[in-house]
Amino acid sequence: MAAPGSFTAGSVLTAAEMNALPGGVVYLDQTAAADATIGTTTVVIRTTSITLETGRRYKISANGFLYTLSTTLTTITRIMDGATRLALHQWTGNATFNNIGLSMFAVIDGDGSSHTITLDSVCNTGSFLFSRAANRPAVLLIEDIGPS
């Protein structure tokens, strides 16, 4: 079978070609709860234990909204696989620039074992808010994007 865009009538989709296709959504958590006040390291969203299959590649995406009410604060938000950091986002907000939309992702290869993926955040001094309101939910999405 040919690459997308050059299919011909009568082409047959093989098992090997099917295995090369992305598998789609593996895990989705959209938390619309009370805002999380972040000071020390706080888990915003955590997966249940999921198995990332050997030979597959996964994209882990996180979205949210951070804001500080007044003072200058530096925040670090991470996508973690257990104790391993997969991605990091750092932001410094103040009274003038007090909010930012967060969108980050990481790509990892499956190894056939169980993983607990978390989105956590920490603040250098004081605290800030990680919004999880209904109109600004925090989202953690894991997608199978194809073979590794």
- What is the pLDDT, as a whole number, of residue 4? 59
Write out pLDDT tens, residues 8-38. Answer: 778 787 888 888 889 999 999 887 677 888 8
Q: What would you measure as the largest C-alpha separation in the chain, in angstroms? A: 65
- What is the pLDDT, as a whole number, of residue 72? 84
Query: Dihedral of the CA atoms 116, 41, 139, 47 (nearest 10)?
Result: 20
Task: Look up residue 59 and give its amino acid.
Answer: K
Please enumerate in sequence order all residues whose Cβ is within 8 A of that of 113, keeping only pairs 6 or more positions apart, or say none: 51, 52
Write out pLDDT tens, residues 90-119. Answer: 998 887 888 888 999 999 999 999 999 999
Write out pLDDT tens, residues 31-84. Answer: 767 788 888 888 888 887 899 999 999 999 999 888 887 678 888 999 999 999
- What is the pLDDT, as a whole number, of residue 1? 45
Tokens linked to 73 = 């604060």
Sign of CA dihedral 22, 24, 27, 32: positive
Q: Say if residues 142 and 56 touch (Cβ distance below 8 Å).
A: no
- What is the pLDDT, as a whole number, of residue 59? 97
Look up the pTM and report it. 0.85
Q: Please give the Cα distance from 101 to 63 (Å, whole number).
A: 8
